[in-house]
Chain A
Amino acid sequence: MKLLLEHAHVEGIRYYDTYRKNGGYRSVEKAFKMTPEEIVEEVKKSGLRGRGGAGFPTGMKWSFLAKPEGVPRHLVCNADESEPGTFKDRYLMEFIPHLLIEGLIVSSFALGSNATYIYIRGEYAWIVDILEQAIQEAKNNGWLGKNILNTGFDCEIYVQRGGGAYICGEETALIESLEGKRGNPRIKPPFPAIQGVWMRPTVVNNVETLAAVVPIINNGGEAYAKIGVGKSTGTKLLSVCGNVKKPGIYEIDMTQTVEEFIFSDEYCGGIANGKKLKACIPGGSSVPILPANLTLKTAKGEARYMNYESLADGGFATGSMMGSGGFIVLDDSQCVVRHTMTLARFYNHESCGQCSPCREGTGWMYKILKNIEYGKGKMSDIDLLWDIQRKIEGNTICPLGDAAAWPVAAAIRHFRDEFEWHVNNPDEAQQRNYGLAHYADPIHVPVTA
C-alpha cells in the first residue's frame, strides 16, 4: 500500500510539471472548496497520528490551536530530523518535495497560517535548495503567494535552516531557534498552540504528517482511516538501517508483523551475511531496544505487528515504541554495550544543558558505559547506571532526558548479562567487540514470502 511514495519512482517527480501530471496539487484544488473547519474535521476523521515520534493525533492538535482575533497564526513544519536511524523525511523532501509543499498549503489554509515555516536541519543543506526551488515553482504556478486560486487566501512558505542541534527537533526548542534565539526548550504550559512562534498560536508538525494530509484530502478522511489497524491508521514511512539485506525507506500500512517486515523479500529481506537477528530498535534511537524474541513476539506470545499499539504492547518492560520510524536492526555480531555507549555519547553531546539531571546525567552515563565497554567497569556500575537513568527520566523540561534514559534502561533490562560479561571478561570484551551472541538464539524460521 503506497500513498506517499506512490509516484516516487516516476522520473522527474521532483519537478513541478511531472508532479502535476501525476495528480499533484489536486488536494489544494479540493481543499480550497472546503472551509478550514471541514479540513480539520477531515483530518480528525482520518485518525492521522503525528509521525514525528510521539504519535499524538494530528486533528486534535489542530483543533487545540487558539484563534484570537487579529493575531496571526503560524504553521511550522518540523524538518529537523536528527534522530539517529531516522531518515524518512529526508527521502520525502529530497525526491518528492512538492508533496510536502502541497500538504503545507492545505494545512496552512486549514489553520489560517499566512506565513508558514519549514525548519530544516542544517546538515540537509542540499535539500534547502530543492525545497526552495519547489516553492518557487509552486509560486510561479499560482499555488503560493497572494490570493491563491482567487480565494483571497495568502500564503508564503519560508525555509529556515537549523544549526545542527538535535534538541531543535523538540517543538519548543525549534520555535526558540526559529525566533533566532538559543535553542533551549521552553517550559510548557503555555503550549505552542496558545503561544508559539513570536508568542502567536502555532502548530508544529512533522514532514511526514503534513505530507499525509494530501492523500487524506484527496481520498477523504474515512478512506484513510480504513487503511491500517485500530488507532494506527494510514501508512507509515520507515527508514530501515542496520544489518539487513535491504536497508532503505519502506512505506507500510501497519498490518505487517515485525517478522514479515524483517524477513520477507518485499521489505528488509532478512539479516545480511547469513547472520542472526539479535536485537531491534523499532522507532529511532531513543526508544527502548528489544531482544530478538521480544521483537518478533509480545510477552504474551502473540505475533508483534508493525503499528503503534502492538510495538508498545507490554509497556517498557517488554515492549517499545513506534517512535519516528527509525528501524534499526542489530545482528549477532553487534555488541549491545558498545551500541548503548554510542547512543549515550550522542545524548551527552546533544543535551542542551538547561536541566541539571540531563546535563550532568547524560555525561555521567556515557563515562560509565565507556568504562564498561573498555573493560574498566565494575559490577556496581550497572546498578549505578540504572539509578542515574531513573533520576533523569521524567525530571526534565523536554523529552530529551527521557530519550537519553530509555535506551540505557532497556539495554540493562534486556541485556544485563551482556553488561556483566563485559565486566567479568574485560580482555575478551575488548578483543572481540560483539558481546554475547546467545541473544540471537531463539530465532524463528523466516516467513516465506
Chain B
Amino acid sequence: MSDQKFKVTIDNITVEVAPGTTILNAARMIGGDVTPPAMCYYSKLEGSGGKCRTCLVEVSKGSEKDPRPMPKLVASCRTTVMDGMEVKNITSPKVLDARKGVVEMLLINHPLDCPVCDQAGECHLQDLSYEHGASGTRYEFDRRTFEKEDIGDYISLHMTRCILCYRCVFTADQLTNKREHGILERGDHAEISTLLGKSLDNEFIGNVIDVCPVGALTDKTFRFKNRVWFTKPVDAHRDCPTCSGKVRLWMRGDEVFRVTARKDQWGEVEEWICNDCRFHKKETKDWVIEGPSKIDRHSVISQGHYVGVKKQPVLIDKVIGKNPKLLLDIHKVSDVNRPEIELSKIEGPAHSDDFKPNK
C-alpha cells in the first residue's frame, strides 16, 4: 500500500501523491498560483484547518470510481484526494468569487491598522487581501472592538485583529502541557482569552506568535521597535538546552531586533523554539550566525534581499480553459497599454488618443 500513488489533477496540472494527502498539500507540491491560500490550516498542527474557508476549491470530478462532482465547494485543507480527482482552483470562477467573499468577510471587522501593526509586512491577511480582495469595502458599520487584555510580559494580544483561526489554540494544546488560553463566547463576539486573566507563561508559548497569521499575537519585546522589512533576516543557532536553537534573527546593522523560528515558503515554522531563545537572547554574541536567510516566500519581507528566492513556476500555458484573473495578460484586455507604441516617439505628454488602434 505504501507505494500506491493517487493521481490528482489541479487546474489541469496532474500530480501524483500518496493516499491521505489533502488537496491543499497536493497543490503545494505543484506550487505557484495553483496553491489555495490558507489562513487557518497549519500542516504542523493536528486538527487545524477548515475554518477560514479561504482554501475552498471546486471538485469537478470526485474520483475515477465515482466521477460525480462534489455539490459544494470544499475546504481543500481538510479534503483528502481520491484517485483521478479533478480539482479546479483558479480556473473556477465560482471559487474565485467565493474566495473574494471570504476575504471580504475576514476584513469587515479587521481594524486595518497595518501602519501601526508589528505584523505588517509578514501578515498573511495582507497578502491574501492583496491577491484576492477588493480595493474598497461595502461595510459601513462600526467595527467590533474588545476590551484590551494583558496576557503576560512577552505576548501582546490584539483581539480586534484576530481572525479566529484557532492556530494558537492548537499550538498550546499540542506543544505545551497545559493550555491556558482558548476561545470564549461564540459567533462574531468570540474572543481569544485566558481563564480569569491568567498570563501565558509556558516556556514554548512564544510559538503562538509565529503561528498567528495576523497581528493578533505579537512579540512584546519587539513592539514598535522596527518595521519587519527594514530588518534583515539572518539564520543563526545556539546550543539551547530546551529547544533546537535554530532560529532566524532579524537584524539591523549589528543589532538583533527580533528572534523568530525559521519559516518555510508557506509561512510555517520549521522547528519550534523556546521562550528563552525568542525573548532573552537579543545580543549578537549569543548566537552563531550561519548567514542570510533564504526567504522563499513571495512577500514584502524578501524585498531588497532576494537571496535564493525560488522562482515561481510558470504555469500559464498549463492552466488553460478559463482565463484566471491572476494570470491575466494586461495587453490582451487593454486597448490603452499597447507595447508596440514607443513612448519616446510621442510628442508631448501621452494622450489616450495616441493609443487608439487606428493610429
What are 20 A-to-B residue pairs whose CB atoms are below 8 Å? A187-B78, A349-B187, A350-B187, A353-B183, A353-B190, A354-B164, A354-B166, A356-B54, A356-B163, A357-B101, A357-B105, A360-B188, A363-B144, A363-B187, A364-B139, A364-B141, A391-B98, A391-B105, A395-B102, A397-B50
- Min CB distance A154 to B, Å, is 33
Asked if A359 is at the interface of the complex by the 8 Å CB criterion, the answer is: yes
Given contacts A187-B75, A356-B106, contact A362 B53 (CB under 8 A): no
Asked if A228 is at the interface of the complex by the 8 Å CB criterion, the answer is: no
Contacts of B138 in A (CB 8 A): 384
Asked if B359 is at the interface of the complex by the 8 Å CB criterion, the answer is: no
Nearest B residue to A359, CB-CB:
B188
**A395 adjacent to B98 (CB under 8 Å):** yes
Residue from B49, B98, B185 whose CB has the most chain A CB atoms within 10 Å: B98
Asked if A127 is at the interface of the complex by the 8 Å CB criterion, the answer is: no
Q: Give which listed residue, B49, B72, B183, contacts A394 with CB less than 8 A.
A: B72
Alpha-carbon separation in the docked complex, A376 to B352 (Å):
42
**B186 adjacent to A351 (CB under 8 Å):** yes
**A351 adjacent to B187 (CB under 8 Å):** yes
Given contacts A187-B75, A356-B51, contact A391 B101 (CB under 8 A): yes
Contacts of A361 in B (CB 8 A): 105
- Summed over the interface, the residue pairs from A and B with CB atoms below 8 Å come to a total of 89
Q: Using an 8 Å CB-CB cutoff, how does the interface string of B264-280 with A read, 1 for contact, 0 for none?
A: 00000000000000000
- Min CB distance B10 to A, Å, is 20
Contacts of A353 in B (CB 8 A): 164, 183, 185-190
Nearest B residue to A363, CB-CB:
B188
**A360 adjacent to B78 (CB under 8 Å):** no
Q: Using an 8 Å CB-CB cutoff, how does the interface string of B53-92 with A read, 1 for contact, 0 for none?
A: 1101000000000000000110100100000000000000
Contacts of A367 in B (CB 8 A): 141
Contacts of B210 in A (CB 8 A): none
Given contacts A354-B51, A384-B138, contact A395 B188 (CB under 8 A): no
Alpha-carbon separation in the docked complex, A364 to B106 (Å):
12
Contacts of B187 in A (CB 8 A): 348-353, 359, 362-363
**A167 adjacent to B186 (CB under 8 Å):** yes
Nearest A residue to B98, CB-CB:
A395
Asked if A355 is at the interface of the complex by the 8 Å CB criterion, the answer is: yes
Alpha-carbon separation in the docked complex, A74 to B78 (Å):
26
Contacts of A136 in B (CB 8 A): none
Summarize A's interface: helix, strand, loop or mixed. helix
Contacts of B186 in A (CB 8 A): 165, 167, 350-353
Which B residues fall within an 8 A CB radius of A?
49-54, 56, 72-73, 75, 78, 98, 101-102, 104-106, 108-109, 138-139, 141, 144, 163-164, 166, 182-183, 185-190
- Min CB distance A170 to B, Å, is 13
Alpha-carbon separation in the docked complex, A391 to B101 (Å):
6
Contacts of A182 in B (CB 8 A): 182-183
**B51 adjacent to A355 (CB under 8 Å):** yes
Alpha-carbon separation in the docked complex, A93 to B144 (Å):
41
**B108 adjacent to A364 (CB under 8 Å):** yes
Interface residues of A in 349-395 (CB under 8 A from B): 349-357, 359-364, 367, 384, 390-391, 394-395
Nearest A residue to B50, CB-CB:
A187
Given contacts A353-B183, A360-B105, A367-B141, contact A348 B188 (CB under 8 A): yes
**B102 adjacent to A362 (CB under 8 Å):** no
Q: Give which listed residue, A348, A349, A355, contacts B53 with CB less than 8 A.
A: A355
Alpha-carbon separation in the docked complex, A360 to B105 (Å):
6
- Min CB distance B94 to A, Å, is 10
**B139 adjacent to A395 (CB under 8 Å):** no
Contacts of B188 in A (CB 8 A): 348, 351, 353, 359-360, 362-363
Given contacts A357-B53, A363-B187, A364-B108, contact A394 B73 (CB under 8 A): yes
Contacts of B105 in A (CB 8 A): 356-357, 359-361, 364, 391
Nearest B residue to A397, CB-CB:
B50
Contacts of B53 in A (CB 8 A): 355-357, 395-396
Q: Using an 8 Å CB-CB cutoff, how does the interface string of A408-433 with B read, 1 for contact, 0 for none?
A: 00000000000000000000000000
Contacts of B101 in A (CB 8 A): 357, 390-391, 395
- Min CB distance B173 to A, Å, is 11
Alpha-carbon separation in the docked complex, A394 to B73 (Å):
7
Contacts of B108 in A (CB 8 A): 360, 364
Contacts of B75 in A (CB 8 A): 187, 397
What are the 3 closest A-B residue pairs judged by CB atoms, nearest first? A391-B101, A353-B190, A351-B187
- Min CB distance B33 to A, Å, is 21
Q: Known A-B contacts: A187-B78, A348-B187, A354-B51. Give 19 more (CB < 8 A).
A: A182-B183, A187-B50, A350-B186, A352-B186, A352-B190, A353-B186, A353-B187, A354-B164, A356-B54, A357-B105, A359-B164, A359-B188, A359-B190, A360-B109, A363-B188, A391-B104, A394-B72, A395-B102, A397-B51
Alpha-carbon separation in the docked complex, A362 to B187 (Å):
9
Nearest A residue to B139, CB-CB:
A364
**A356 adjacent to B102 (CB under 8 Å):** yes
Contacts of B78 in A (CB 8 A): 187
Alpha-carbon separation in the docked complex, A397 to B166 (Å):
15
Alpha-carbon separation in the docked complex, A364 to B190 (Å):
15
Alpha-carbon separation in the docked complex, A146 to B54 (Å):
51
Alpha-carbon separation in the docked complex, A357 to B187 (Å):
11
Given contacts A182-B183, A348-B187, A353-B186, contact A391 B102 (CB under 8 A): yes
Nearest A residue to B166, CB-CB:
A354
Contacts of A356 in B (CB 8 A): 51-54, 102, 105-106, 163-164
- Min CB distance B216 to A, Å, is 14
Contacts of B190 in A (CB 8 A): 352-353, 359
Alpha-carbon separation in the docked complex, A391 to B105 (Å):
9
**B109 adjacent to A395 (CB under 8 Å):** no
Contacts of A359 in B (CB 8 A): 105, 164, 187-188, 190
Residue from A357, A361, A367, A394 whose CB has the most chain B CB atoms within 10 Å: A357
